[in-house]
Amino acid sequence: MFIVVFTSYIAQFYFLLDYSFSEDTAVWGQLGDYVGGLLNPILSFIALVLLIKSLSLQNEANEGLRSELKRNEKSEKLRSFEALFFGMINSQKELFDALKVEFGQHDTEFTKCSIEAVMEIEDDLAQPQWTPR
């Protein structure tokens, strides 16, 4: 960009208007002002466009982070539910394994544990009940 401006200045004044290069520093200062006056608005506009593009990209990245955060929260809730659910199932299994029932038949008493106790209870319920006459 600077080269284009500087080249156009040299082409205009040195080649077309046939001016020679000045040895006065004030004239070179004027050249600096000229180049700065042309380039500053252009570079400022480019910087503004890039800033807007950067903000747009940052907003897209933030949207991606927000959606990822929502997915993580949902996943964490599911993991928490699974841990609680399977903990309750494990607790019920431990309680069922610790189940002991004492039965008495014909003057004998015996103890059965877990599944055997449940099967004995089911067998007792399936048998016809004694009814008085």
pLDDT grade for 84, boundaries at 50, 70 and 90: very high
Is pLDDT at 132 greater than 70 in this prediction?
Answer: no
The reported pLDDT for the residue numbered 130 is 62
- Helices 25-97, 2-10: inter-axial angle, 10-degree rounding: 170
Q: How far is CA 61 from CA 50, 71, 74, 75, in A?
A: 16, 15, 20, 21
Is pLDDT at 36 greater than 80 in this prediction?
Answer: yes
The reported pLDDT for the residue numbered 16 is 81
The reported pLDDT for the residue numbered 109 is 74
Question: Residue 15: is it exposed, middle or buried by C-beta count within 10 angstroms (0-12/13-18/19+)?
Answer: exposed
Among candidate residues 95, 92, 99, the one with its CA nearest the CA of residue 114: 99
Contact 36, 6 (CB under 8 A): no
Residue for token pair 């990209």: 57
Is pLDDT at 40 greater than 80 in this prediction?
Answer: yes
The reported pLDDT for the residue numbered 66 is 96
Q: How far apart are CA 23 and CA 4, in angstroms?
A: 23
Averaged pLDDT for residues 14-31:
80
pLDDT grade for 81, boundaries at 50, 70 and 90: very high
How high is the mean pLDDT of the chain?
85
Where is pLDDT greater, at 69 or 35? 69
The reported pLDDT for the residue numbered 133 is 56
Averaged pLDDT for residues 16-42:
82
> What residue spans define the domains of the chain?
2-86, 98-128
